[in-house]
Amino acid sequence: MVLANKKSIIQQANELLEQSIIYYQNRPVGTVAATDSERDALNYDQCFIRDFVPAALVFLIQGKTDILHNFFMETVVLQKQERRIDCYQAPPGLMPASFKVESGEVEQYLHADFGDKAIGRVTPIDSCLWWIILLRAYVKATDDISIAHRPDFQEALKFILNICLGPQFEMTPTLLVPDGACMIDRRMGVDGYPLEIQALFYAALRSARELLITDTEGKNTIARINNRLSSFVFHMRYYYWLDLKKLNEIHRYQGDQFGESVVNKFNIYPESIPYWITEWMPDRGGYLAGNLGPGRMDFRFFSLGNLMAIISSLTTDHESHEILNLIEERWDSLIGKMPMKICFPAVEGLAWQIITGSDPKNTPWSYHNGGSWPILLWMLMAAAQKMERAEIGERAVAIAETRLMDDRWPEYYDGKNGRLVGKSARMFQTWTIAGWLLAKLLRDNPRCLKFICFEQDTEADACTI
Ligand code: GLC
């Protein structure tokens, strides 16, 4: 009975994924974000680059590489499209947040959104980072690097790297971005140096290093990447890391220190430690903070950034195990009845007003503000499996399986423990379906983990102080 039921979930998930495919000139090029016929499509009928990632990885594991090939051939062209907001011409390099097939009088064309149409005009910085990470996965899966070595792809990589590695008004190696530049694409206090972007930046730099042709120009770019990676890794592992020991140190920090070798470099005042963390931080475990800047440490736990840090080996093996320990120790808060919380805890009251701009979609324990997103399941599985602790992923998948199909594959869930289907959640959300399917496929095909995982880096010199 149980077996029959499971089979039908897999069948349904595969069928729904198939139905989500977008065709352009009769070729599959991507997947729509959701196929919910009960709601106004808004832009959910478009192919979002970040949403396509889990679907694409499923296709890769299933050997359906055509759709990825077509996706790359189209997006590499879109990257060069003009993007204008009012009269401002934004620089090339960014990949669109999403694109859609439109029909003209004679033929079809692709219409892209670089944030110039998006709600709040958010800049989709994660798109170009995911694009590189996915290109590397494609190369690994097909064992064929020729697409990445095409001149137009090398140019696309360089456009992105030029924006990321170019000169900036910055004294830290992290990437400075505006609010809502990633999966959390609304105002949520994720401006500055949010963990999600940093983890994707790291994985994208490591992917690009594998994809660049090693001619003179390529070698120079690789040297720039290595230079950035060594200081970046140190910065993230050292300054972002939070556990009970570190919390004790911050609790006794001196403020307003001037000079090169001070302890409290970012001037984090102990008074800024939120009360919840003093109880929530377990004895065993730790994680990377959500954000770090002048006088600012965001103590919230952000799942995508922490899981991608494990997957990409941004964290040391010890830290990766500690993050998984924390997930085990705080299972009810982070996994609850639906894996997994996008961030913990929610911001409430005055903080909600100030941080979200009183966003009615991001009320406490809903949507981006402490809602639960099944898409994160595949990252949990990959991270757990990489650290040889697959049972964590399996437990989570088993919880999700009890509800996802009956609930019609919602985009997200609400409530402190994820028991409610999201207030405004779309049904038949493609990355919910693909995320669950991918978690199962990774579990059954551990050799495919290498499409997305990275070993500890031995190429970039470790930075020491
Ligand atoms: C919402 C999510 C975003 C996602 C999009 C399409 O805007 O915040 O991360 O890409 O929906 O599913």
362-388 per-position pLDDT tens digit = 999 999 999 999 999 999 999 999 999
Closest ligand 1 atom, CA of 368?
Answer: 8
Ligand 1: centre distance to CA 125 (Å)? 13
457 vs 97: CA distance, rounded Å: 29
The finding on whether 33 has its CB within 6 A of some atom of ligand 1 is: yes
Q: CB of 196 closer than 6 A to ligand 1?
A: no
- Whether the CB of 50 sits within 6 Å of ligand 1: yes
Give the pTM. 0.97
pLDDT score recorded for residue 108: 96
C-beta of 130 in contact with ligand 1 (< 6 A): no
The pick from 127, 183, 343 for probing ligand 1's pocket by mutation, whose C-beta has the most ligand atoms within 8 angstroms, reads: 183
Q: Whose CA is nearest to atom 4 of ligand 1?
A: 183
Q: Pick from 45, 47, 48 the residue to mutate for probing ligand 1's pocket: most ligand atoms within 8 Å of its CB.
A: 48
Ligand 1 atom nearest the C-alpha of 44 is 6
321 lines ligand 1 (CB under 6 A): no
Query: Which residues contact residue 5 at a Cβ distance below 8 angstroms, ignoring those fewer than 6 apart?
Result: none
Task: Enumerate the β-bridge partners of residue 192.
Answer: 177
Q: Which residues in the chain come in under a pLDDT of 50?
A: 1
CB 411 within 8 A of CB 429: yes
If one residue of 36, 98, 185 were mutated to test the ligand 1 pocket, choosing by the most ligand atoms within 8 A of its CB, it would be 185
**What is the structure's pLDDT at 91?**
80
- Tell me the backbone φ, ψ of residue 91, rounded to 5 degrees: -70, 155
pLDDT of residue 38: 86
Is the distance from the beta carbon of residue 183 to the nearest atom of ligand 1 less than 6 Å?
A: yes
Long-range interactions of 175-178: CB distance < 8 A, separation 24+: 175/125, 175/201, 177/123, 177/125, 178/122, 178/123
Residue 385: the pLDDT is 98
Q: Ligand 1 center to residue 259 CA distance, Å?
A: 43
Q: To test ligand 1's pocket by mutation, which of 32, 49, 51 has the most ligand atoms within 8 angstroms of CB?
A: 51
CA–CA gap between residue 146 and residue 211 (Å, rounded):
10
Maximum distance among all Cα pairs of the chain, rounded to whole angstroms: 69
Strands (E), 207-329: 241-243, 286-288, 291-293, 296-298, 301-302
Per-residue model confidence (pLDDT) at position 1: 47
pLDDT of residue 454: 98
Name the strand (E) or helix (H) holding 27: strand 27-31
Residue bearing the CA closest to ligand 1, atom 9: 183
Supply the residue whose CA is at minimum distance from atom 7 of ligand 1: 185
CA–centroid distance, residue 247 to ligand 1 (Å)? 33
Nearby residues of 438 by Cβ (< 8 Å), 6 or more positions away = 54, 57, 58, 61, 378, 381
- What was the pLDDT predicted at 104? 87
* pLDDT recorded at residue 27: 98
- What number does the ligand 1 atom closest to the CA of 186 have? 8
Q: How far is the CA of 265 from the centre of ligand 1 (A)?
A: 35
Q: Which residue's CA lies nearest to atom 6 of ligand 1?
A: 33
Q: According to the model, what pLDDT value does residue 3 have?
A: 56
The distance in angstroms from the start CA to the end CA of the chain is: 60
CA nearest ligand 1 atom 2, residue: 183
Q: Is the CB of 36 under 6 A from ligand 1?
A: no
Strand (E) or helix (H) holding 88: strand 88-89
